[in-house]
Amino acid sequence: MRISVFGCGYLGAVHAAAMASLGHEVVGIDPDAAKIALLSSGRTPFFEPGLPELLTAGLARGRLRFTTDPSEAAAADVHFVGVGTPQRKDGTGADLTYVDQAIADLLPYLRHGALVVGKSTVPVGTAARLAKIVGAVGARLAWNPEFLREGYAVKDTIEPDRLVYGLDAATAEQDAALLDEVYASAIAHDTPRIVTDYATSELVKVAANSFLATKISFINAMAEIAEVVGGDVTQLADALGHDTRIGRRFLNAGVGFGGGCLPKDIRAFAARAEELGRGDSVAFLKQVDEINLRRRQHMVDRVVDSFGGIVHGRRVAVLGLAFKPFSDDVRDSPALDIAVRLNGLGAEVMSHDPEAIPNSRRLHPQLTYTEDLDEALEGAEAVVLVTEWNVYRGLDPVATAAKVARPVIFDGRNVLDPPAWRAAGWTCTGMGR
Ligand SMILES: NC(=O)c1ccc[n+]([C@@H]2O[C@H](COP(=O)([O-])OP(=O)(O)OC[C@H]3O[C@@H](n4cnc5c(N)ncnc54)[C@H](O)[C@@H]3O)[C@@H](O)[C@H]2O)c1
């Protein structure tokens, strides 16, 4: 099929390359000329495992190209819209400027009978509004939320765990058939497929992210209690997780969630619910957000306390900047935030991350960064592990002790084995244990 993808960020670039790998003919469109130049030459503007290979293969086969020119979408039968929906600068709702602009850019080139497929995460009600706009030129709209996880985006796009089609009832059969053709490979592998209305499809995405955020904040709330009573939240989570109704995943206490999705999605959902007169229904999301943000300050307080209340002038190694491993995404990252807060208190912060230094430096040039883990550790008076990269999980307590000036480590992700670190002379503090 001939496909266009508007937006070539974390979602769109992967989607475009994945669709090409499935045999479709794809054009990726984005106004960011630097991004388009990189992608066109087979280089990725961000770190995503497996994407470079997919990109190179698609370009080499001539099935994939990238452009800043929306008119090149004209030949496509299906147009995906995967542009950003960040938090508004003047509030907590979603900023739909980019979605509206992408639709406006596409509109002059939209053929009668073409299908526009929204993938961005949007407030419920957006699809119904956009359907009228594209309907005016005889095109149709579907909403097909994306559930990919950064770090696993290629696999999640090619082999999604479910497909959700939000469709107009009047043309549902025809539109579902077209989407089935796009996703023929996933359909052939019996991927669960939910065909529904626009509103439900929009809700599925924000509800899923709200649930995941709530699960993380729930265990972090338990961590706060466990710390007061001298319990261990990791054992608590293990015990809870054996109940299959609860499950162990997303029950890891730590410095909390971040990234370009969960924080802004729960805020936008709460804001949209207020507009709908149902603010009370998801009022708990505000607490979920508050618990989450408290974790960052809690970590900072612990580090400061370890220096007797003044961190000014002390060498602190911050291990991790990305919001999670296998990503270079630092949007709303707890790890970067903790580095910034410690730096703001006058600590001599040395930040390390295997992938996220360039993005961090763009946002916070005032921080000191090193790509050399040994250099980060050398002479540190406190080590703060805030992104659970394997390279940190695998640190040897004995060898690491020889590098630092003071063997004090804070495990913000509860991934170290405290007895092993203590045996090597460390003061090792986890979160909620
Ligand atoms: N990143 C994820 O893991 C993920 C997962 C699921 C859903 N989503 C959702 O997908 C959407 C995109 O997220 P992202 O992380 O890829 O954001 P991103 O910021 O990485 O990418 C957005 C891209 O859209 C481009 N853009 C802006 N205006 C445009 C226009 N008029 N035409 C074409 N392109 C335009 C930007 O230049 C940018 O490259 C958001 O709604 C997000 O919530 C993201």
pLDDT at 65: 98
On whether both 71 and 164 belong to a single domain, the answer is yes
Check: CB of residue 78 under 8 Å from CB of residue 25: no
Question: Of the residues 166, 196, 226, which one is the last residue of a structural domain?
Answer: 196
Cα–ligand 1 centroid distance for 316 (angstroms): 34
pLDDT confidence tier of residue 240, bands split at 50, 70 and 90:
very high
User: Which atom of ligand 1 lies closest to the CA of 121?
Assistant: 41
On whether both 357 and 392 belong to a single domain, the answer is yes
On whether both 192 and 207 belong to a single domain, the answer is no
On whether both 188 and 119 belong to a single domain, the answer is yes
Cα–ligand 1 centroid distance for 119 (angstroms): 9
Question: Of the residues 141, 169, 196, which one is the last residue of a structural domain?
Answer: 196
- C-alpha to C-alpha distance for 330 and 271, rounded to whole angstroms: 24
Instruction: Please give the average per-residue pLDDT across 44-62, as a whole number.
Output: 97
- C-alpha to C-alpha distance for 357 and 15, rounded to whole angstroms: 25
Q: Between the CA of residue 428 and those of 236, 303, 401, 418, 431, what are the distances in Å?
A: 19, 11, 12, 6, 10
Beta bridge pairs of residue 64: 26
Beta bridge pairs of residue 27: 4, 65
User: Rounded mean pLDDT of the chain?
Assistant: 98
8 flagged as catalytic: no
On whether both 187 and 214 belong to a single domain, the answer is no
pLDDT at 165: 98
Q: What is the pLDDT of residues 409-432, one digit of tens each?
A: 999 999 999 999 999 999 999 999
Cα–ligand 1 centroid distance for 10 (angstroms): 6
On whether both 191 and 213 belong to a single domain, the answer is no
Question: Of the residues 157, 181, 196, which one is the last residue of a structural domain?
Answer: 196
Residue 104 is part of which domain span?
A: 2-196
Is the C-beta atom of 30 inside 6 A of ligand 1? yes
Q: Between the CA of residue 430 and those of 51, 227, 401, 408, what are the distances in Å?
A: 34, 10, 17, 11
5, 11, 126, best to mutate for ligand 1 pocket (most atoms within 8 Å of CB):
11
On whether both 296 and 388 belong to a single domain, the answer is yes
What proportion of the chain, given as a percentage, has pLDDT over 90?
100
pLDDT at 81: 98
- C-alpha to C-alpha distance for 281 and 283, rounded to whole angstroms: 6
pLDDT confidence tier of residue 388, bands split at 50, 70 and 90:
very high
Q: What is the pLDDT of residues 296-344, one digit of tens each?
A: 999 999 999 999 999 999 999 999 999 999 999 999 999 999 999 999 9
pLDDT at 100: 98
User: Which atom of ligand 1 lies closest to the CA of 149?
Assistant: 3
- Nearest alpha carbon, ligand 1 atom 39: 9
Hunting for tokens 């054992």 — which residue is that? 235
Q: Between the CA of residue 42 and those of 36, 37, 59, 388, what are the distances in Å?
A: 10, 9, 7, 29
Beta bridge pairs of residue 81: 6, 118
On whether both 173 and 217 belong to a single domain, the answer is no
Give the strand order in the sheet containing 348-352: 368-370, 348-352, 315-319, 382-385, 408-411, 427-429
- Nearest alpha carbon, ligand 1 atom 41: 120
On whether both 321 and 308 belong to a single domain, the answer is yes
CATH assignment at residue 118: 3.40.50.720
Instruction: Please give the average per-residue pLDDT across 183-212, as a whole number.
Output: 98
pLDDT at 255: 98
Which among 99, 116, 153, 261 is annotated as catalytic?
A: 261
pLDDT at 353: 98
On whether both 150 and 162 belong to a single domain, the answer is yes
On whether both 174 and 289 belong to a single domain, the answer is no
CB-based burial, 144-160: b 16+ in 10 Å, e otherwise = bbbbbebbebbebbbeb
pLDDT confidence tier of residue 31, bands split at 50, 70 and 90:
very high
- Would you give the end-to-end CA distance of the chain in angstroms? 53
- C-alpha to C-alpha distance for 370 and 361, rounded to whole angstroms: 11
Is the C-beta atom of 85 inside 6 A of ligand 1? yes
On whether both 234 and 112 belong to a single domain, the answer is no
pLDDT at 406: 98
